[in-house]
Amino acid sequence: MTCLSIYGLGVVAVLVAAAASLPAGAEPPGPGPWEPLPELTDEFDGTELAQDNWYPRNPGWLGRQPGYFSPANVTVSDGQLHITMKREDLEGLPEGYHTYTCGAVQSKVRARYGYFEAQCRAMGSRGSSAFWFYHSTPEIWTEIDVFEIGAGAPEHERIVHMNAHVFHTPTEKEHWSKGGDWEAPEDLADGFHVYGLLWTPQELTYHFDGVPIRTMENTHWHQPLTLNFDSETMPDWFGLPEEGTLPSTFSIESVRAWRLPATTVVGPDEPR
């Protein structure tokens, strides 16, 4: 183990063995040599989420109101991870949560820099399907959104919404973000696509089906982050889902990850 320091935070770097080969057909973009990151790679075979690698919830967040993250909405079947949004009221929910349940999956390790891709199909309701990275501490809180898709919301059916947030750091005290949109040639709920993020110390490059669609300078995103998939209600953005469109399901066929040698992997630990 090697101890690193990032923005004054103690970070334990876990060196992952590179004995495994890259998945068949996978060729990460950018400079190599690449090492597989098995803790963030999953083909979702079997009938249950791999408990060593994933939480079937978000340990630090109950969901965007009014939608509540219910672990019951996270399932694995037919070689896919499914995150479902339903119209239902569960008993005993905290104030502000009602009418809708959603789902979230979070990695048990945090990573910094690499190439990360997911083959997935967005759900066809106004609910958001999202693939993103974040971690929050009292000292630093940053986030990278590979995509947020409201494929059932008018005028959003083909739009890949990408963003990167800085909520706070030792020198940045107010939230700001750098976002961008890209229009796909077809409705995103109609089929599976491969969404990727090439994250280096210099740049963030977003990919769609192997093609770069957005690049931005990496000015602040140097914190090890968890990998997340979730479905959320977005009442102020996509609008609340109509009853006839629920249940709707965000399906992930695979997630694959690689890193450059000696970059950081942290955990597993319980996020704050």
For residue 158, the enclosing domain spans 34-266
Average pLDDT rounded to a whole number, residues 163-167: 98
DSSP assignment of 19-47 equals: -SPPPTT----SSS--EE-GGG-B---SS
pLDDT value of position 269? 54
Query: In which region does residue 49 sit, left (phi positive, over 0), alpha (psi from -120 to 50) or beta (all else)?
Result: beta
SS3 244: helix
Q: Is residue 231 part of a domain?
A: yes
Comparing CA positions, the residue from 106, 169, 179, 192 lying closest to residue 148 is 179
Domain-embedded: residue 4: no
14, part of any domain:
no
14 pLDDT above the threshold of 50:
no
Kindly report, residue by residue over 104-125, the tens digit of the pLDDT: 999 999 999 999 999 999 999 9
Closest C-alpha to 224, from 259, 195, 256: 259
Closest to 125 measured CA to CA, from 233, 217, 31: 233
Is residue 183 included in any domain, yes or no?
A: yes
Can you give the CATH number for the domain in which 110 is found? 2.60.120.200
Q: How many structural domains compose the chain?
A: 1
Task: Name the band, by pLDDT with cuts 50, 70 and 90, for residue 26.
Answer: low
pLDDT digits (tens, 9 = 90+) for 191-200: 999 999 999 9
Residue found by looking up tokens 């005290």 in the block:
173
Task: Assess whether pLDDT exceeds 80 at residue 162.
Answer: yes
